[in-house]
């Protein structure tokens, strides 16, 4: 940001009604997330909205208790068709990171009912990139163009 003529003291932030921070000059969009030893920051000056999420897939969350709380009907069907806990865990965290990055891009965070979102549809409509960071972390970034 410094090479574009910005100094730290000139970056003015505010928060929307859902407590999402944004830059008042509106030239840059950003999103950040953290999980254990990693911090993820996404910044762009060429998108309408941006959301990012990183999650540790090796935490002690029982995904079998949670998947029905965060997945759409189609996602649940797919999840239940998977064989083996490793495949189910990978899919669960794909769902979670994609949905969290998407609702961050919308600026409403988890005030949206994430069960109403379907990652199969979202990936067709929006620019969503997902990555594996080493063997224990999943990343998703959602870019919404004007």
pLDDT-based confidence at 65, cuts 50/70/90? very high
1-50 pLDDT, tens digit each: 455 555 556 677 777 777 777 677 777 888 889 998 999 999 888 888 89
83 φ/ψ angles, rounded to the nearest 5 degrees: -105, 130
Instruction: Say what the alpha-carbon torsion angle 49, 54, 57, 61 is, to the nearest 10 degrees.
Output: -80
The model carries a pTM of 0.85
The counts of H helices and E strands in the chain are: 4, 7
Distance CA 72, CA 85 (A): 19
For β-strands 38-44 and 49-56, DSSP reports them as unpaired
In this predicted model, what pLDDT tens digit does every residue of 97-119 receive, in sequence order?
999 999 999 988 777 899 999 99
The pLDDT, as a whole number, for residue 119 is 95
The architecture CATH gives domain 2-144: Alpha-Beta Complex (3.90)
| Domain spans in the chain, listed from the N-terminal domain onward | 2-144
Torsion sign (Cα): 101, 103, 105, 109: negative
């Amino acid at each position: 940001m410094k090479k574009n003529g910005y100094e730290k003291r000139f970056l003015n932030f505010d928060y929307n009604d859902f407590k999402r921070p944004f830059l008042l000059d509106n030239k840059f969009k950003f999103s950040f997330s953290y999980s254990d030893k990693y911090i993820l920051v996404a910044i762009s000056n060429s998108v309408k909205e941006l959301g990012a999420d990183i999650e540790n897939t090796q935490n002690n969350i029982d995904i079998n208790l949670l998947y029905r709380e965060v997945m759409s009907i189609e996602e649940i069907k797919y999840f239940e068709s998977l064989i083996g806990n490793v495949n189910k865990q990978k899919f669960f965290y794909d769902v979670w990171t994609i949905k969290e990055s998407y609702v961050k891009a919308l600026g409403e965070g988890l005030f949206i009912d994430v069960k109403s979102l379907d990652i199969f549809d979202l990936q067709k409509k929006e620019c969503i990139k997902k990555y594996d960071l080493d063997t224990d972390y999943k990343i998703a970034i959602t870019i919404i163009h004007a």
